[in-house]
Amino acid sequence: MATTRTLTIIKPDGVQQHNIGDIIHAFEQHQLKIIAMKMLHLTKNQAEGFYAVHRDRPFFDSLTTFMSSGRVVVMVLGGDNVITRLRELMGATDPAKASAGTLRKQFATSIEQNVIHGSDAPETAAFEISYFFSELDISK
């Protein structure tokens, strides 16, 4: 399989709950290579730009308000089939429906405050990575 890239975000609840180290440890245990990483505090406008695809959804305002409520950690991950592998590790969006051992089952408190974001497709990953990182930021 070809090595691919994806974007992940430890959301404000994960940062506030001090889950950063646990989540990074899980990435490393699952051979998801961290290629780039930074901590940010998104503005409401930045969160709206990132989640623009959901602008017409009823949860858009609450999601972007939440995502701009505190610091986040954004990372580019790499590896074979990394998008699928990360999404399996993340678990279902609703932590009540997430499988045991997934990040959301372990750390999330609600459908919206679910600790982690991950790109869902190669095209999405390309947009999301470029939203936060330039090619100069990403080590080869």
* Residues annotated as catalytic (active site), given as ranges: 117
Q: What 3-state class would DSSP assign to 102?
A: coil
Cα–Cα distance measured from residue 28 to residue 78, given in angstroms and rounded to the nearest whole number: 11
- Angle 53-115-51 from CA coordinates, rounded to 5°: 10
**21: how many CB neighbours lie within 10 A of its CB?**
8
Report the Cα 131 to chain-centroid distance in Å: 13
89, 32 Cβ separation under 8 angstroms: yes
